[in-house]
Each structure stands twice: as structure tokens, then as C-alpha cells.
Amino acid sequence: MQTIELNGSVRTNFGKKEAKNERKEGKVPCVIYGNGDTVHFSVNEADLRKIIFTPNSYIININLDGKTETAVVREVQFHPVKDSVIHIDFYRVNNEHPVAIDIPVRLTGVSEGVRQGGKMMLSKRKLKVSGLLDKLTDTLDIDVTDLQLGKSIFVSDVKFDGLTILTPATTAICAVKMTRAARGAAAAAEK
């Protein structure tokens, strides 16, 4: 899985007033927890764009005043009106314990149903999986070559080496639906 570097500075003052002052300076209050103590820090809002506004998932190396922490994003809070980031929770990870993370789905191949005039519909863009850091991949590749018209692929139909899928097994990942044009052509052919 890809890693990204992020620089932050440890905060010693807590509370709403201090967090509001941090935001006025263009910084976002953050917290990192898990596998040890909790650390409050802040990062520049501009540095978060490469982590937040992307479909990818990353392992993040956070540099805090000379100390490096390895983490993943656990939760992001957005301002209800401005849609800017107001707080981020990071979860500390290591290679000894599995980590739960959302990984993007990538469909590979051309479906048999699409060749027959159907349209591929991706229902689930990311799947929540659990695994050790060295087993995590950038994308979860699903081969759709044999998917027929009107059929779906569910979470229970896929397996990945070294990963446990946490998304419910009954969740549909993708399906091939018949298009209106194909239905119209089929109806015209029946007449």
C-alpha cells in the first residue's frame, strides 16, 4: 500500500477555543490513538488535500516534532456549510496487529453482459478489509469477465489473500444491468 508523509506539530492546549484558533491559522486539529498513548497535534490544511480528496487509501507517516508515527485515517469531520476539514482522527498501526481500512475496488476485464449490450454498474467503490500492513494492497482487483447480463457480484463471491473482508457478505459490489436501448431493441425483436 502507498505511504504518504505528513508533517504536524504537537498541541499542548486543548478545547474549543484553542481548536478554533488553530483553524483560523489554516491548521486542522488532529488526534492519533491506538497501541499506546494519545497525541494531539495539528497539520496544515493544504497538506491534507492529498489524503482526504482522493479515492485512494494510504498508510501515513506523521512527523511530529522529530518523532514519526505510522497511522491510517480513522475519521474525518467536515464543516457542515463550508465543507472544509475541521478534525481528523488517525489510528496508529504496526505490522504486528491487523488494521481495518477501506480499500478502493477496481474492476478488471470486459464483462460478457456488457458485450451483450448491458451496462456495468459499480455499487460499492470501497470495501472495508482487515489485514497486516504488508498484506494491504492499493486496490482490490475483481475480474468481471464472466459476469452475465442481469447478474451481480457480491462480497461473499470474492476473496483476497491475507485479507479478511469486513463489509457485509450480502453487499453487492457490481452488476450488469440491461440498458433502455437494449430493452427497446429486445422488445422490437419480439414483435
Q: List 142's β-bridge partners, or say none.
A: 107
| pLDDT tens sequence across 71-101 | 999 999 998 998 889 999 999 998 888 999 9
Domains observed in the chain = 3-94 (2.40.240.10), 100-190 (2.170.120.20)
Q: Considering just the CA atoms, what is the radius of gyration of the chain in Å? A: 22
| pLDDT tens sequence across 127-173 | 999 999 888 899 999 999 999 988 999 999 999 999 999 999 999 99
> Does the pLDDT at position 186 exceed 70?
no
Burial per residue of 149-183, b for 16 or more beta-carbon CB atoms within 10 angstroms, e otherwise? bebebbbeebebeebebeeeeeeebbbbbeeeeee
CA distance 102 to 128: 4
CA distance 118 to 100: 34
